[in-house]
Amino acid sequence: MKKRGYNNSGHKLVDKTKRIIPRGLPCKSITFGLQRIFLQKVCCDCRANKMYPQVYEELKNVAKREFPEFKYNCISLNHNLKCLPHKDSVNNVRQSHSIIFTFGEFNNGELIVEGAKINIKNNPLIFNGQKLEHSTADFTGNRYSAVYYYKYYPKTYKGYKEII
């Protein structure tokens, strides 16, 4: 018999949407780079890499131009996403920093880090999202954000790549 709050494999279900505040506008998020196949020791390219190759290439070009020394294997591209205060949990323990910036036609929408508002519109910020609580300030308009980070996968996983 399936226990309430658990899936068929006995793993506890997690509602990841609890960190997101509905704004009335639909929000979208897509991840490029590397991903792990669920419950397997196999890494592969995210589907978005092939679905939107021009977007993926442009995101990588931005990284090469703006922060060429930063190592990452995942990029999250978000549209109208407003997050509640949280700390990241998926970044590599050895490199827990991420880089984030926003772009688009919007007002406000600063990144709030430990209570301080930081304007990241067209202005990349590197910070430790595992140690520092962060969220999104209210905004109006169409706000896009790009987050570059390093997700940990053991090097023994089939398909493992060091960086994108």
Q: Which CATH number covers residue 105?
A: 3.60.130.30
Select, from the ranges 38-47, 79-88, 100-109, the one with the highest average predicted confidence (pLDDT). 100-109
Per-residue confidence at 112, pLDDT binned at 50, 70, 90?
very high
Is 62 a residue whose pLDDT tops 70? yes
| Residue 70 maps to a domain | yes
| Residue 96 maps to a domain | yes
Number of independent structural domains in the chain: 1
Handedness of CA 89, 92, 94, 98 (dihedral sign): negative
As a whole number, mean pLDDT of residues 6-12 equals 41
| Residue 41 maps to a domain | yes
Segments forming the whole domain that contains residue 116: 26-149
Per-residue confidence at 70, pLDDT binned at 50, 70, 90?
very high
| Residue 2 maps to a domain | no
As a whole number, mean pLDDT of residues 63-83 equals 93
Instruction: Determine the Cα–Cα distance for residues 80 and 104; give it in Å rounded to an integer.
Output: 10
Residue with tokens 């997700």: 151
pLDDT of 10: 43
| Residue 159 maps to a domain | no
| Residue 9 maps to a domain | no
Is 19 a residue whose pLDDT tops 60? no
For β-strands 144-149 and 74-79, DSSP reports them as antiparallel
The string over 120-138, giving b where at least 16 C-beta atoms fall within 10 Å of a residue's C-beta and e elsewhere, is bbeebeebebbeeebbbee
Which pTM does this prediction carry? 0.79
Q: Which residue has the higher pLDDT, 5 or 52?
A: 52
